[in-house]
Amino acid sequence: MPRVLLIEDDPAVREGALLALRRQGHDVAAAGTGEEGLDRFRSFRPEVVVLDLMLPGMSGLEVCRRIRMDSQVPIIMVTAMGDDIDVVVGLETGADDYVVKPVRARVLEARIRAVLRRVEQGPFPDGTVAAPETYGELRIDRAALTVTCGGAAVALAPSELRLLLTLSASPGQVFSRQQLLEAVWEHNYHGDARLVDACVKRLRTKLGEPSRQPRYIQTVRGFGYRFSSSR
């Protein structure tokens, strides 16, 4: 049974989500504060974290940062309607996806299933494997699912890795944000471009890309992103 850690301070919301997730077959642990959430994270070792941003004491953003210091477990953050700045900051901090309150059990379950499926399948559901690729200081090993830059290993969250592998599989091709949402996050509706933009920003930072003239992941204004094939 997939293990889910739910960090939510509102008792009614927490209990409702806890019951719904358990009915759907998940092994769930719950916490009401950020500090408690981090303790449960270390002991429970979840496969996905559902994290409310508005927590008393230690904020959800700080919890996300601390988890990302030593783990790439998928994080789905929960935010209040209209908190656009919190959404962007949360995604840039390392969250993989988000849902808006009031949280519908069916939507949350779909997001959890999607992130777990992406982790289980890896970037090549059809079993395709290619030889390692080198682009300047960047080396991508699709078989081992590893990335190094300048000889140093780059720790990527599942969404970051899938984004890099999707773009680099077709160097020079321009991908729209909607195409990337469908390929990386499996959002087959008119989704939120902030997911893509925030993930690109995190990925560029981890690859040591200059913000103004990135070498590998380039912005095509008005269209989307492409991976540079120059080696």
Q: Quick check: is 18 in a domain? A: yes
What domain range includes position 145? 133-227
Tell whether 56 and 164 lie within a shared domain: no
Tell whether 46 and 113 lie within a shared domain: yes
Q: Give the residue from 93, 121, 149 where a domain finishes.
A: 121
The CATH number assigned to the domain holding 203 equals 1.10.10.10
Position 45 pLDDT exceeds 70: yes
Average pLDDT for the chain? 87
Q: How far is CA 100 from the centre of its chain?
A: 16
Its pTM stands at: 0.77
Strand 152-153 versus strand 175-176 pairing type: unpaired
Position 182 pLDDT exceeds 90: no
Q: Give the residue from 121, 153, 188 where a domain finishes.
A: 121
pLDDT attached to residue 121: 58
Position 88 pLDDT exceeds 70: yes
Q: Quick check: is 128 in a domain? A: no
The tokens for 196 are: 């893509």
Instruction: List CB contacts of 203: < 8 A, sequence separation 6 or more.
Output: 156, 160, 163, 164, 209, 217
Q: Quick check: is 197 in a domain? A: yes
The CATH number assigned to the domain holding 48 equals 3.40.50.2300
pLDDT attached to residue 128: 54
Position 86 pLDDT exceeds 50: yes
pLDDT tens, position by position, 186-218: 776 556 788 899 999 999 999 998 877 898 999
Percent of the chain exceeding pLDDT 90 equals 53
Domains identified in the chain, total number: 2
Percent of the chain exceeding pLDDT 70 equals 90
Among left, alpha and beta (phi > 0; psi -120 to 50; other), residue 10 is beta
Tell whether 69 and 163 lie within a shared domain: no
DSSP 70: H
Mean pLDDT (whole number) for 93-106: 87
pLDDT tens, position by position, 107-127: 898 889 888 877 665 555 445
Tell whether 19 and 110 lie within a shared domain: yes
